[in-house]
């Protein structure tokens, strides 16, 4: 990731409008800022959310609240709780997310 031409700034995430992204079940609410080629998001998943696709985009993800279950296409599963993160490169392991109880994430990709 190359970060350039981004002046210092602050973000009030509560002032960013949320966009709704339905999953196979549940929904994700994204608050998104774009800084050049870098997308930064605050994402809230509703309880019972299951992604409707396998993702091959790279991310750095931090769990702020709740519990996020991540399944890789090779069958491995991981559970993130508040204070835990994961990172994955573009086109590395395909992954999909779910949450039984809801989750809030901070994501950079």
Residue 16 has pLDDT above 90, yes or no: yes
Quote the pTM value: 0.92
pLDDT digits (tens, 9 = 90+) for 63-97: 999 999 999 999 999 999 999 999 999 999 999 99
Q: Taking the CA atoms of 1, 20, 103 and 54 in sequence, report the sign of the dihedral they define.
A: negative
Q: Closest Cα partner for 25 from 75, 66, 69? A: 69
Structural domain spans, the chain: 34-108
Stretch 39-49: mean pLDDT, rounded?
98
Residue 21 has pLDDT above 80, yes or no: yes
- Alpha carbons within 13 A on the beta-carbon side of 11: 13
CATH code for the structural domain at 34-108:
2.60.120.10
Residue 14 has pLDDT above 80, yes or no: yes
What is the reported pLDDT for 35? 93
């Amino acid at each position: 990731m190359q970060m350039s031409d981004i002046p210092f700034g602050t973000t009030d995430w509560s002032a960013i409008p949320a966009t709704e992204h339905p999953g196979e079940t549940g929904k994700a609410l994204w608050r998104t800022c774009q800084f050049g080629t870098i997308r930064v998001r605050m994402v809230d998943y509703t309880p019972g959310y299951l992604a409707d696709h396998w993702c091959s985009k790279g991310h750095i993800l931090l769990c702020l609240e709740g519990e996020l279950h991540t399944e890789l296409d090779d069958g491995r599963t991981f559970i993130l709780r508040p204070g835990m993160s994961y990172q994955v490169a573009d086109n590395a392991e395909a992954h999909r997310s779910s949450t039984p109880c809801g989750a809030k994430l901070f994501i950079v990709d």
